[in-house]
Amino acid sequence: MKKLQSRIWMIIGICMILAAVVLCCYNVRQNQKGAEYAEYALAQLQELIPTTADDKAEESGDSSQVDELEQSDILSEYDIPEKETLIEIDGRYYLGTISIPAIGIELPVLSEWSYANLKISPCRYQGTVAEGNLIIAAHNYSSHFGKIKNLNPGDEIYFTDGDGTVHTYKVVQSDLIYGYNVSGMEDGADDWDLTLFTCTWSGTNRVTIRAVEK
């Protein structure tokens, strides 16, 4: 009887180890795919988003630069806030790009969040740059927002919008939002120009970074 029980527990233990290995492999693969998707979209956005050089060329009447922009996938008609330009890539609409030198990431930002979109890149959860209440969500992949917990007050975040304008933010503080407390994520929105958040490894809480525009 004891031998049978020992075998059963051994089998259960082996199954649990195998399940952990499978889960680990799945997470690693999802992280790799997320990095690949984001890298591809980022490269496309960097070609499509106007730069300071593009703006100067347009002002000086360089028609070749103007024509290139007119033929890009920058949207002219879309249900978007005033003064906000979205860029279409493969049927998805991007708000811009985010760069955080302190943790070595530069990523595209999708204009709307969904579980499918989060696998590709960070997404706007709500708010806008113009209104000073932008909230961006992302998975805790190491290639996405997995390292934001390491940010410190004073670290800088750069957000480049669809028009090529670079907005510079300074990290003020980090919070841990418990459970699915959406109101906690939104509390004090008037005090923060930018909020970044991702889930903890357990998935039960949210690591949250608050920043103000410089």
Render pLDDT for 111-150 as a digit per residue (tens, 0 to 9).
999 999 999 999 999 999 999 999 999 999 989 999 999 9
The per-residue pLDDT of the chain, averaged, comes to 79
pLDDT category of residue 60 using cuts at 50, 70 and 90: very low
In the block, tokens 């028609």 appear at 63
Q: Which pLDDT belongs to residue 13? A: 66
Number of neighbours of residue 38 by Cβ within 10 angstroms: 24
Of 99, 195, 98, 103, the residue nearest 146 (C-alpha): 103
**pLDDT at residue 152, rounded to an integer:** 96
DSSP 8-state assignment for residue 209: E
DSSP 155-198: -EEEEEETTS-EEEEEEEEEEEEETT-HHHHHTTTTT-SEEEEE
Residue 39 one-letter amino acid: E
d(CA 193, CA 67): 34
Integer distance in angstroms from the first to the last C-alpha of the chain? Answer: 71
**Which positions ≥6 away from 75 have C-beta within 8 Å?**
85, 86, 87, 88, 93
> What are the φ and ψ backbone dihedral angles of 79, each rounded to 5 degrees?
-80, 80
Task: Tell which wins on pLDDT, 154 or 54.
Answer: 154
* Cβ pair 168, 156 in contact under 8 A: yes
| Local confidence band at 190 (pLDDT 50, 70, 90 cut-offs) | low
> Tens of pLDDT along 21-35?
555 555 666 667 768
78-106 per-position pLDDT tens digit: 445 557 899 999 999 999 999 999 999 99
DSSP 8-class letter at 48: H
